[in-house]
C-alpha cells in the first residue's frame, strides 16, 4: 500500500474514533443525612478521579453524571469513595470520620447509584435501589484511599 494511501486510511480511522470514548455512563447521587454536618467525598473510577461531592447545610444534594473510561472487552469498573465526613453522633458529640470504601460496578451503564454511609458512618459504598446486584461493595476501607497525614 503506498504511503499516501496508508496516511489517508490512518487519518480516516482517527477521525472516526471518538477521543476519550466512554464504556459506561451512569449517575451518582449523594444526599446529606440529617445528622451530617459536612461531607467531602471523591469518587474514583478505575483509579481515576471521576467526581467530587461537597455537602453542607447549604448544599444538601448533589447528582453527577459519571463517564467511566473505555476498557475494551470489560464492562466492570472498580470504584473508591474517599474523603471525610463530620456528623453529630447519637450522644450529641461531634465526630469526624474518614470516608473510605469501594467495590465493583459489574455493568453500570445507564444506572443510578446512591452514595451510602452506613454503620455509624464506618461503611461507604454505592447502591442502586432498583437493582441490588448493580454494585458489589468490598468490605472494609478501600486500599485506594490514603490515610490522612497529620
Does position 146 have pLDDT exceeding 90, yes or no?
A: no
How far apart are alpha carbons 104 and 107 in whole angstroms?
Answer: 9
Give mean pLDDT, residues 23-45.
Answer: 94
Give pTM, 2 decimals.
0.81
Q: Tell me what the pLDDT averaged over the chain comes to.
A: 84
CATH architecture of 21-138: Sandwich (2.60)
- Burial code (b: 16+ CB inside 10 Å, e: under 16) for 2-24 equals eeeeeeeeeeeeeeeeeeeeebb
Tell me: the pLDDT tens digits for 13-24? Answer: 333 334 445 578
Q: How many CB atoms lie within 10 A of CB 108?
A: 26
Give mean pLDDT, residues 35-57.
Answer: 95
Amino acid at each position: 500500500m503506498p504511503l499516501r494511501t496508508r496516511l489517508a486510511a490512518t487519518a480516516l480511522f482517527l477521525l472516526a474514533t471518538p477521543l476519550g470514548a466512554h464504556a459506561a455512563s451512569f449517575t451518582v447521587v449523594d444526599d446529606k443525612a440529617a445528622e451530617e454536618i459536612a461531607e467531602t467525598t471523591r469518587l474514583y473510577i478505575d483509579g481515576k478521579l471521576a467526581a467530587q461531592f461537597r455537602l453542607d447545610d447549604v448544599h444538601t444534594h448533589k447528582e453527577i453524571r459519571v463517564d467511566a473510561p473505555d476498557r475494551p472487552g470489560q464492562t466492570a469498573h472498580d470504584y473508591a469513595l474517599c474523603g471525610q465526613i463530620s456528623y453529630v453522633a447519637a450522644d450529641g458529640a461531634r465526630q469526624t470520620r474518614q470516608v473510605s470504601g469501594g467495590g465493583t460496578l459489574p455493568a453500570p451503564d445507564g444506572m443510578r447509584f446512591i452514595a451510602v454511609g452506613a454503620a455509624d458512618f464506618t461503611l461507604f459504598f454505592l447502591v442502586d435501589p432498583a437493582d441490588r446486584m448493580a454494585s458489589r461493595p468490598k468490605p472494609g476501607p478501600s486500599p485506594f484511599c490514603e490515610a490522612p497525614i497529620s
